[in-house]
Every structure is written in structure tokens, then in C-alpha cells.
């Protein structure tokens, strides 16, 4: 599994970006959002139970990520056509403000997030800085959803470029070495 300090591999992935006829799909690359932090989050399968709760929460908090100059990119190993069908059928997914990537098995393998037995993406989150360096990695069991507040808090801490103590929150003092 790639980890903190590794560079995100170059990628070129198809994504579902809209429900508007003729504008449903777009190719997303590692350079589509220059000078932005990337928050990549992956889920195991479309048309499941835990996944839409997370995707909908990320969508609700999209503005918070944008305020931090970060672009959300969600995805699973399901293709962009599956993502489109799911968005069309699930009320909480219709108006997503971020791309739903087709994280090919090759890309999931390159990241080290392909579940060995199930062959699907693990429930993984990566925060990548504007230079393409992975600064945070978290992986949950397939059955356990993420905490979007904690991902935002971690992004805030990383963006201070300072030493942040346990349970640090934005606005609190950072640590100053003596």
C-alpha cells in the first residue's frame, strides 16, 4: 500500500461527473486540478448500503473542502456507467459536486487498496498535497464508514505545516519546539 511520503501515481480515469445528457462523463487525471490538495476516497461497490452514507456526507461537506483549496475525488472499481446508474437511482447521489472515478483494478492495485479476496477497492482515504505527495492514508474495514469531520480536521492540521498535538482543532495553538 502506498503511504505517507509516496507520490500519487499518474492516472487517467473515466468518471461520472453529471446527470446531464451528453455531459455525464469526463476523463480525470492527476493533473486535472493543478495546485490543489486532493482528497481521494474509495468505496467497495456501488449499489450498497454503507457507501452512499459516506458519499452523501462528503457531498454535504464539499464546500468545506473547497474552502481549504481541496478537490474531492470519490471512486470505486465499478465503472463510470455503474456510477451513473447509481446516481440516477439514489436520491442522495443525484447532485454530487465531485467526480465519481472508475478506479480501475490497475489503479487500485498501484495504490495498494485492492481488497485481495473481494477484488474491490478498500474503504480508503488519501490526502495528497499540491506537489502530489501523499500526506495521509486511512483504511477502514469494508463494513465501517468514515468520519468526514476527522478527514477535514486532518487536512486542516496538514495545511498548518506545523506540529499539531493530539485532538488539535483549527484555531487552537500548535506546538512550538523548545
What is the pLDDT at residue 76? 98
pTM: 0.96
Write down the pLDDT at residue 22: 97
pLDDT at 178: 81
Query: Of 16, 51, 164, 166, which residue is the catalytic one?
Result: 51
Pick the closest to residue 8 from 43, 48, 44, 36 (CA basis).
36
Ordered by where they begin, the domains of the chain are 12-147 (3.40.30.10)
Beta-bridge partners for 25: 16
Counting as low any pLDDT under 70, the low residues of the chain are: none
Give catalytic status of residue 51 as yes or no: yes
Amino acid at each position: 500500500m502506498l503511504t505517507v511520503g509516496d507520490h500519487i501515481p499518474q492516472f487517467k480515469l473515466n468518471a461520472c461527473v453529471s446527470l446531464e445528457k451528453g455531459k455525464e462523463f469526463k476523463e480525470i487525471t492527476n493533473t486535472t486540478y493543478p495546485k490543489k490538495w486532493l482528497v481521494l476516497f474509495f468505496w467497495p461497490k456501488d449499489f450498497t448500503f454503507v457507501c452512499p452514507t459516506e458519499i452523501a456526507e462528503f457531498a454535504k461537506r464539499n464546500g468545506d473542502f473547497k474552502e481549504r483549496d481541496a478537490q474531492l475525488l470519490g471512486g470505486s472499481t465499478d465503472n463510470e456507467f455503474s456510477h451513473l446508474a447509481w446516481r440516477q437511482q439514489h436520491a442522495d447521489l443525484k447532485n454530487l459536486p465531485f467526480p465519481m472515478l472508475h478506479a480501475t483494478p490497475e489503479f487500485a492495485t498501484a495504490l495498494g487498496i485492492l481488497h485481495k479476496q473481494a477484488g474491490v477497492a478498500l474503504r480508503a482515504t488519501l490526502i495528497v498535497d499540491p506537489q502530489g505527495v501523499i500526506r495521509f492514508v486511512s483504511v477502514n474495514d469494508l463494513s465501517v464508514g468514515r468520519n468526514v469531520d476527522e478527514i477535514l480536521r486532518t487536512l486542516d492540521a496538514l495545511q498548518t505545516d506545523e506540529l499539531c498535538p493530539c485532538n488539535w482543532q483549527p484555531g487552537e495553538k500548535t506546538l512550538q519546539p523548545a
